[in-house]
Structure 1
Amino acid sequence: MKETNRLPAFDRSIATSEQVAVLDEILSGPRGNLDGPFLSWIHSPELAQRAQRLGAFCRYDTGLPLRLSELAILVTAAHWRSQAEWHIHHPIALKAGLPAEVAESIRCNETPTFDDQDDRLIYDFATQLNETRRVSNETYAQALNRFGHVVIINLTGLLGYYTLVAMTLNVFETRTASQIDLPFPE
């Protein structure tokens, strides 16, 4: 991950024990890298520790298949026009089976055409929550019927967490080291 221009460069050789503990936990966990907001958050190690643990749950343990979690993340990344969040999660979403045309429509702020009803439901839920700050009774009832209360709670948490990530990446103008082309206009 590329350091930001808005924060001091992080130097592990002078890091506090709390900062090193957070980084080691992130690197030894399912992510295995520091892509995303972590090099921004590490300047506040307590926030970094709490947020990265929440993020690990939201990314890997919501009860949703990876394709649906990544779809919700892409909707949030597009809503916030988060360059790095999109850059990181777009290939993961495609590898998990999200059709490229669906992702491209989301990136272009167009309503996708869905072949899969679960994709449509997650898109509707995430889009409504991001755009109107609410979820309609109809969408909520469909999500409840399909996924149950626990998964809806977890999905809502995932959307909130990735909003925090997008805000962090945007405020500190974070990009991945390999990111040349930006998915959204600045």
Structure 2
Amino acid sequence: MTSRLRLLRPSELDAEQRELYEEITAGPRAAGPQHFALTDTEGRLEGPFNAMLLSPELGRALQDLGAAIRYRTRLPARVRELAILVVAQAWNSAFERDAHERVGAAVGLSEAELLALREGRDPELTDPGEHAAWEFTRALVGRDGVLDEAQYDAARTALGEPVLFELSTLVGYYSTLALQLRLFTVPDRSAYA
């Protein structure tokens, strides 16, 4: 299946789109190690970022939220990436899975943990906070999306309420991206290779 959206070349962007493009490609996502490319060889945004150009004002807000989740939360990198991979598995989002398995490996998730997350199995995390984050995220993306009191209390004890807020925001953000990737039939990363 091919993408429903044509990738926009930088030369085709209007002023608002260009401003958002620059924020994405020159912002914190572009700094530091790159585990997946933001643009293709022609400079066109890949993955969820191309769709954000359709509505620059909303795209900017969504992009800002993603940057805040990724760079300005209390979430440890391993917790952040394992939660993203739980969302990717729940939504069967190949693009998210491929991109964030690369980041997950870079922050220390083992091959066995990555495989378990890909298959929707318990990754048998030994760190209590990581395990609590995994259980919390699985409950949020589960069939009814509800945590019972015991699950909530366990997550609150292990992570604290500020982190639960950040983690639930992450789940909502990456679920939104997975929905948009599905809507616009954005191919997984291997299609860009």
TM-score for the superposition, normalised by structure 2: 0.85
| Aligned residues with identical type, % of pairs | 34
SS at structure 2 position matched to 1:111: coil
Distance of aligned partners of 1:172 and 1:73 in 2 relative to their CA distance in 1, 3 Å threshold = same
Equivalent position of 2:84 in the other structure: 73
Equivalent position of 1:110 in the other structure: 121
Offset, 1:62: 2.1
Please identify, of 36-45 and 156-165, the stretch whose mean Cα deviation from structure 2 is larger: 36-45
CA RMSD of aligned residues (A): 1.8
Equivalent position of 1:18 in the other structure: 16
Pairs within 5 Å for 1:37-52: 37-52=48-63
Please identify, of 83-92 and 104-113, the stretch whose mean Cα deviation from structure 2 is larger: 104-113
Cα pair 2:128 2:158 within 8 Å, conserved: no
For structure 2, the residue ranges without an aligned partner over 5 or more in a row are 31-37, 39-44
For structure 1, the residue ranges without an aligned partner over 5 or more in a row are 181-186
Write out per-residue CA displacement over residues 21-58 of structure 1, whole angstroms, 9 at most, x where no aligned residue. Answer: 00101111111134430101211111211100000011
Distance, in Å, in 2 between the alignment partners of 1:130 and 1:45 is 28
SS at structure 2 position matched to 1:63: coil
Structure 1 moving runs of 4+ over 6 Å:
none
SS at structure 2 position matched to 1:9: coil
Matched, 1:135 2:147: yes
Cα pair 1:84 1:175 within 8 Å, conserved: yes
Please identify, of 44-53 and 133-142, the stretch whose mean Cα deviation from structure 2 is larger: 133-142
Please identify, of 143-152 and 49-58, the stretch whose mean Cα deviation from structure 2 is larger: 143-152
Number of matched pairs: 177
Higher relative contact order (CA 8 A, sep 6+): 1
Pairs within 5 Å for 1:1-186: 5-32=3-30, 33=38, 34-131=45-142, 132-175=144-187, 178-179=189-190
Distance, in Å, in 2 between the alignment partners of 1:146 and 1:117 is 7
Please identify, of 96-105 and 122-131, the stretch whose mean Cα deviation from structure 2 is larger: 96-105
Offset, 1:80: 0.3
Equivalent position of 1:183 in the other structure: none
- Which residue identity lines up with residue 148 of structure 1 in the other structure? G
Please identify, of 9-18 and 163-172, the stretch whose mean Cα deviation from structure 2 is larger: 9-18
Distance of aligned partners of 1:146 and 1:109 in 2 relative to their CA distance in 1, 3 Å threshold = closer
Distance, in Å, in 1 between the alignment partners of 2:57 and 2:47 is 17
Write out per-residue CA displacement over residues 36-88 of structure 1, whole angstroms, 9 at most, x where no aligned residue. Answer: 30101211111211100000011122201111000100000000000100010
TM-score for the superposition, normalised by structure 1: 0.88
Distance, in Å, in 1 between the alignment partners of 2:133 and 2:46 is 25
